[in-house]
């Protein structure tokens, strides 16, 4: 049993993990860069260690510094949060070789499901529906041959990562070669892996993802699904649970397939399997994220779970006490990601927060790592807070979220609350009928 957890992350997710640890009676260690010395996760942890300068490669991505911080403080487990090193199997292996507990899936499972090409093979093996696609492409000529087989339009994707990097939509043969080389360069720069592959491109898909919770004893449950179709440049902006687009028949079918896939591959911890839904309502496997997701709170709100606590308990060897039959959504939840960015240009807006007042009231939760007087550094992701609204119905959740956004005060930096209000007010969103192209069309 571990007693002290080092959180290898920053911002709201670091604070989220610290809170879960404290409720489980565990001591916590925060790590931070020089510019994050006054960050909230540093102030709330039991201990804190500076691990380097602002540049993430010299701090939050610097494995030796993180391991040294664990050794200095006597931490015996590491939680990676999301982003940074959270899906780095090599980091997980180093943690385990140093006799520390890795709070996440096994390194083998991270490789099997984290690499997009390998994951496609796993998904096909267990009967998950697949878009026509390829393995790793060897050359631009190979890409052209495969694209002709699949049929245009196609999309190039990085095998070793996501988030829009290394992703290129190709609509004709003439533009394929340039897109292939650009995608490889972006993949190498972003993930140190130049491999890319092709899939048939769905013009106006919805984005649906399923939450896996599995222990080390073969118990697996699917804690419902989330819809994440509101995106900008492949980055999620707003998420909700349950999905207004998914039929109960499709839901139950996918639950059964995912439980089998996780169980038979020995997967444990949290995992999220993402799908595209086409215009006919058919689901197609896209990828699996072997970590806690940014948008996990909407699942927690409708399912009455603490997913981060479950993740920690699973790492400690506990058996799941959750039963699939009792995992029934209670109402509806929506999450808005509040970013420090110019609402017109989407450029980051770092600087000092001169006034900060998060919303409250019935059914409102705010996950944030900021406070009035804190300076938002320019070195990291612009996410400041996640506002989550929970209500008995989707319509009520929308109304509650609209009220919460009206209450949100953050002065000194620019934030994107007005964008979220536009989304909530749009007739298409209120009807629950949007695709990943919705925001692009809304903004003109």
Give the catalytic positions in this structure.
Answer: 291
Q: What residues pair up with 216 in beta bridges, in sequence order? A: none
Cis peptide before 244 (omega within 30 of 0): no
- Cβ-contact 336, 418 below 8 angstroms: no
* Helix/strand/coil percentages in the chain, nearest 5: 35, 25, 35
Q: Are strands 47-52 and 27-33 parallel, antiparallel or unpaired?
A: parallel
d(CA 375, CA 389): 27
CA-to-CA dists, residue 308 to 22, 91, 235, 329, 362, angstroms: 12, 20, 22, 18, 23
Q: Residues 222, 211: contact at Cβ < 8 Å?
A: yes
Sequence-separated (6 or more) residues with CB below 8 Å from residue 399: 391
Single out the residue of 338, 267, 221 nearest to residue 119, CA to CA: 267
Q: Are strands 375-376 and 351-352 parallel, antiparallel or unpaired?
A: antiparallel
Q: Which residue, chain included where needed, has tokens 């109402």?
A: 331
């Amino acid at each position: 049993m571990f007693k002290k957890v080092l959180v290898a992350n920053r911002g709201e997710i670091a604070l989220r993990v610290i809170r879960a640890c404290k409720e489980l009676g565990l001591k916590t260690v925060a790590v931070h860069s020089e510019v994050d010395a006054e960050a909230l996760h540093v102030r709330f942890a039991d201990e804190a260690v500076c691990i380097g300068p602002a540049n993430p490669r010299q701090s939050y991505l610097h494995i030796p510094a993180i391991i040294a911080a664990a050794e200095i403080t006597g931490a015996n487990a590491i939680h990676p949060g999301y982003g940074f090193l959270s899906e780095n199997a090599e980091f997980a292996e180093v943690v385990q070789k140093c006799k520390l507990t890795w709070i996440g899936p096994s390194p083998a499972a991270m490789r099997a499901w984290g690499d997009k090409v390998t994951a496609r093979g796993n998904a096909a093996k267990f009967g998950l529906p697949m878009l026509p696609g390829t393995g790793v492409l060897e050359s631009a000529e190979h890409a052209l041959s495969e694209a002709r087989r699949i049929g245009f339009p196609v999309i190039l994707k990085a095998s070793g990562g996501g988030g829009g990097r290394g992703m290129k939509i190709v609509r004709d043969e003439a533009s394929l070669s340039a897109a292939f080389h650009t995608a490889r360069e972006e993949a190498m720069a972003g993930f140190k892996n130049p491999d890319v592959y092709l899939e048939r491109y769905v013009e106006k898909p919805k984005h649906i993802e399923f939450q896996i919770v599995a222990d080390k004893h073969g118990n697996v449950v699917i804690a419902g699904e989330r819809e994440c179709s509101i995106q900008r440049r492949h980055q999620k902006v707003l998420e909700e649970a349950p999905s207004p687009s998914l039929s109960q028949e499709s839901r139950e079918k996918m639950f059964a397939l995912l439980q089998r896939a996780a169980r038979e591959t020995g997967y444990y911890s949290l995992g999220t399997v993402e799908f595209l839904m086409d215009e006919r309502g058919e689901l197609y496997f896209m990828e699996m994220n072997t970590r806690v997701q940014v948008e996990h709170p909407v699942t927690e709100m409708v399912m009455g779970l603490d997913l981060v606590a479950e993740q920690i308990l699973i790492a400690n060897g506990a058996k799941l006490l959750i039963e699939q039959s009792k995992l029934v959504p209670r109402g509806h939840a929506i999450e808005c990601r509040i970013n420090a960015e110019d609402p017109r240009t989407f450029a980051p807006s770092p600087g000092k927060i001169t006034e900060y007042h998060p919303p409250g009231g019935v059914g409102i939760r705010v996950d944030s790592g900021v406070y009035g007087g804190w300076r938002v550094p320019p070195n990291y992701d612009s996410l400041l807070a996640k506002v989550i609204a929970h209500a008995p119905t989707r319509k009520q959740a929308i109304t509650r979220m609209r009220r919460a956004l009206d209450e949100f005060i953050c002065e000194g930096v620019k934030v994107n609350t007005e964008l979220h209000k536009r989304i909530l007010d749009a007739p298409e969103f209120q009807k629950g009928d949007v695709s990943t192209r919705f925001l692009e069309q809304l903004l003109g």
